[in-house]
Structure 1
Amino acid sequence: MWTIAVVILGALYLYDTFANSNSLCLSYDNNLNNYGYGDCGGPSSWHQKFISAGGQRQSPINLIARGSICIPSETVDPLVFSCEFHVPPCEMKLYNTGHNVVIYATWGSGKRPIIFGGPLTDEYTFLNIKFRWGPNENEGTEHMINGCRYAMELQAAFAKGVAQQNFDIVEAARSGSLLILSYMFMVTPIDNPYVEPIVSALRYIKYPGGCVSIEPIIISLLLPDFSRDYYTYMGSMTFPPCTEGVKWIVKPEPLLISSKQVRKFRKLHGLGGPILMNTRPVQNVNNREIFYYD
Structure 2
Amino acid sequence: MNFYMSFLLSAACCLVNGHHDFGYDGSMGPSNWPQEYSNCAGKYQSPIDIEEHLVRHVRLPALKFQGFDATPVSSTLTNNGHTVMLQLKTVEEACISGGPLLGRYVFSQLHFHWGSNNSIGSESTINNHSFPLELHMVFYKDQYGNFDEALKHSDGLTVIGLFYELYGPGNSVYNEIVEMLPQVTAPQTNTKLEKQITLGSLLPEDRLLYFTYNGSLTTPPCSEVVTWIEFKQPILLSEPQVAAFRKLRTDSGLMTHNFRPVQPLSGRLVLFNMAEAYSSADLKHYSVTVLLMSLLVHTVFKR
TM-score (norm 1): 0.85
Q: Which residue of 1 aligns with 2:224?
A: 244
Matched, 1:288 2:268: yes
Q: In structure 1, what is the equivalent of residue 116 of structure 2? A: 135
Q: Compared with structure 1, are the counterparts of its residues 45 and 24 closer, same or farther at alpha carbon in structure 2 (3 Å cutoff)?
A: closer
Asked if the contact 2:37–2:221 (Cα under 8 Å) also holds between the matched residues in 1, the reply is yes
Gaps of 5+ in 1: 1-18
Quick one: structure 1 residues 162 and 34, their matched pair in 2 at CA, closer, same or farther if it must change by over 3 Å? farther
Closer, same or farther: CA 189–40 of 1 in aligned 2, 3 Å: farther
The answer to whether the 8 A contact 1:81-1:225 is kept is no
Change (3 A) 1:144 1:175: same
Question: SS at 1:131's partner residue?
Answer: strand
- 2:11 pairs, out of 2, 20, 26, with 26
User: Is the 2:7–2:89 Cα contact (8 Å) retained in structure 1?
Assistant: no
How far is 1:172 from its partner? 2.2
Amino acid at match of 1:20: M
Q: What do residues 171-223 of structure 1 show as CA deviations (whole Å, max 9, x unaligned)?
A: 52643210000000001132111111100001110101111001211221112
Distance change (3 Å), C-alpha of 1:35 and 1:258 = same
Q: How high is the sequence identity, in percent, across the aligned residues?
A: 31
Structure 2 residue 174 is the aligned partner of structure 1 residue 195: yes
Q: Does 1:213 align with 2:192?
A: yes
What's 1:69 paired with? Answer: 56
- Using a 3 Å threshold, how does the CA distance of structure 1 residues 44 and 81 change in structure 2: closer, same or farther? same
Change (3 A) 1:149 1:23: closer
Which shows bigger deviation, 26-35 or 229-238? 26-35
- State the shift of 1:69 in Å: 1.1
Q: 1:174 to 1:278 in 2, by over 3 A?
A: farther
Distance 1:193 1:227, change over 3 A: closer
Structure-2 separation of matches of 1:253 and 1:284 = 24
Distance across 1 between alignment mates of 2:129 and 2:18: 33
Which of 63, 74, 86 is 1:103 aligned to? 86
- Output the CA distance in 2 between the equivalents of 1:30 and 1:102: 13
Q: Report how many residues are paired.
A: 268
User: Equivalent residues in 2 for 1:130-279 (5 A)?
Assistant: 130-161=111-142, 164=145, 167-169=146-148, 171-172=150-151, 174-214=153-193, 215-224=195-204, 226-279=206-259
Q: Normalising by the residue count of structure 2, what TM-score does the alignment of the two structures yield?
A: 0.83
